[in-house]
Amino acid sequence: MDTSSPAVFANAELLKMYTGRRVRAVVQVIRNEGGVLVGKSTDGQQLTVKGSPAFPLSHFVEVIGIADGNQSIRAEISTDLGENFDVVAYDGLCQLANGKHRKLFL
Amino acid sequence: MYSSQQDGGAALFSGGGFMPSQATQTPESGFSKNRGVQGVIPLTVKQISEAYHSNDDKSNFVVDGVEASNVRLLGLVMNKAERVTDVTFTLDDGTGRIDVNRWVNETSDTNEMAIIQNGMYVIVNGSLKGFQGKKHVVAFSVRPVVDFNHITLHFIECIHVHLDNTRPKGAGLPQAQTSSMVQTPIRSDVKEYHSSLPNQFSSPTGAKGSETDIYKLVLDVFQEPASLARDHGLHVDEVVQKLGIPINKIRDAIEYHVDVGHIYSTIDDNHFKSACNG
């Protein structure tokens, strides 16, 4: 068992609190710019993902990696979640997992 | 959705690696010790890492006061290794990592595990085990996540079950149990995760106010499924630790409950168990 490096559920707003930490966020692909993926976060802001392979446009991608700036993640693992994903529910989960029920996750 | 899953789960999840496979099992064989009192509880690895391991049984974990023997986890597969009799991997659910082990007895087991690859999201249903202080999961099933909304769902379920199990007993009931003769039905969603206990014991009517409350709190601790599952019951100190009430008050409450027959002493004068048969 190892709980030393959790990946925090994050949207763009929460990302700001976790610079340098491991996070997980879902983005909808807007464009691929040669190794850099630009996407829309679950709270509707633009996020840059470095070191991620390209994914089809408008697909949802879950990125696990290090938050390295306000609007940027250095990806370690990226998973294609397909075209149908409930961002509202996921965004709600981000807030629960960082707020009241933090101790279940961190 | 849960009730149907759990009905099926009762027969499905009754055994560990060396038990007969589900195909050869009849529903009547559900008396296996492994099964515990619960259905399958969704948990995060973080919660498991903090689970309390009660010492009198080698596979008895308690999360939020509820026995967590069968658990459901969701996460990414890492370091998958296939061996002759079993497949092992590490599951990373974002809150932590835990080792998972899946015995492969039959072709169907082998086929199920063959499609599991590193980096894949999977749902693991399994039994939580402790070995030499290290926790791991012996999986009954490992299935790829097809609809990724299940990731969100799983963690929301973890929160929901946590809330249900930590809610003060009685708070979720429509009315305070002032009339002790009325059996207040426990809310159905609570029932899904608790083996709900018949509320057959009345609270003391003679005493008033906080004293009554302490009596009820103490009795509630003894009636938790995890407490009922233990042969020796609970040590007084454990009750004190759980409730954070001075020991003399706890002893008073225990003395009362022993007198009226709600609980009885077991191996010594410090261990007590509920007379209510869970």
Across residues B86-94, what is the average pLDDT?
95
Does A88 lie at the interface with B, CB-CB under 8 angstroms? no
H or E element, residue A64 = strand A60-67
Instruction: State the residue range of the domain holding A21.
Output: 8-98
Does B135 lie at the interface with A, CB-CB under 8 angstroms? yes
Of the CATH numbers 2.40.50.140, 3.40.50.620, 1.10.357.10, 1.20.1260.10, which one belongs to the domain with range B2-166? 2.40.50.140
Q: Which of B223, B193, B218 is nearest to B63 (CA)?
A: B193
Look at residue A105 and tell me if it is in a domain: no
B252 Cα to chain A: minimum distance (Å): 34
For chain A, first and last CA: distance in Å?
14
Of B96, B149, B158, nearest to A1 by CB-CB distance is: B96
For residue B261, what is the DSSP state? Answer: T
Residues of chain A neighbouring B61 (CB-CB closer than 8 A): none
Degrees to nearest 5, angle at CA B165 with B161 and B169: 145
Look at residue A19 and tell me if it is in a domain: yes
Look at residue A80 and tell me if it is in a domain: yes
Is B156 close to A1, i.e. CB distance below 8 A?
no
Look at residue A104 and tell me if it is in a domain: no
Of A92, A93, A101, nearest to B162 by CB-CB distance is: A101
CB pairs under 8 A between A and B: 77
Average pLDDT value over all residues in chain B? 76
Q: What is the pTM of this model?
A: 0.64
Of A86, A96, A97, nearest to B149 by CB-CB distance is: A86
Does A18 lie at the interface with B, CB-CB under 8 angstroms? no
Count of structural domains, chain A: 1
Please state, in angstroms and rounded to a whole number, the distance separating the CA atoms of residues A70 and A48. 10
Contact partners, residue B255, CB within 8 Å, separation at least 6: none
Mutate to test the interface with B, among A14, A21, A104 (most CBs of B within 10 A): A104
Look at residue A1 and tell me if it is in a domain: no
pLDDT at B7 over 60: no
Contact partners, residue B248, CB within 8 Å, separation at least 6: none
Which residue has tokens 């791991």?
A: B136
Please state, in angstroms and rounded to a whole number, the distance separating the CA atoms of residues B169 and B256. 20
Is B49 close to A64, i.e. CB distance below 8 A?
no
Phi/psi zone of residue B244: left (φ > 0), alpha (ψ -120 to 50 degrees), beta?
left
Q: Which of residues 31-70 of A touch B (CB under 8 A)?
A: 60, 62, 64
Q: Which fold has domain B188-274?
A: Arc Repressor Mutant, subunit A (1.10.10)
Residue B81's alpha-carbon distances to B119, B132, B139, in angstroms, are 13, 22, 14
Residue pLDDT, tens place only, B154-178 = 999 999 999 988 887 654 444 444 4
Give phi and psi for B82, each to the nearest 5.
-100, 135
Least confident span in B29-43, B133-147, B257-271: B29-43
Look at residue A67 and tell me if it is in a domain: yes
Residue pLDDT, tens place only, B9-20 = 444 444 444 444
Residue pLDDT, tens place only, B31-85 = 444 444 568 999 999 999 988 776 655 557 888 888 888 999 999 999 999 998 9
Sequence ranges of the domains in chain B:
2-166, 188-274
Residue pair B127/B115 in contact (Cβ under 8 Å)? The answer is no
Q: A13: domain CATH number?
A: 2.40.50.140
| Tokens of residue A90, six digits | 């996921």
Contact partners, residue A69, CB within 8 Å, separation at least 6: A19, A48
Residue pLDDT, tens place only, A48-104 = 999 999 999 999 999 999 999 879 999 999 999 999 999 999 999 999 999 889 999
Residues of chain A neighbouring B152 (CB-CB closer than 8 A): 86, 89-90, 93
How many residues are listed for chain B in this entry?
278
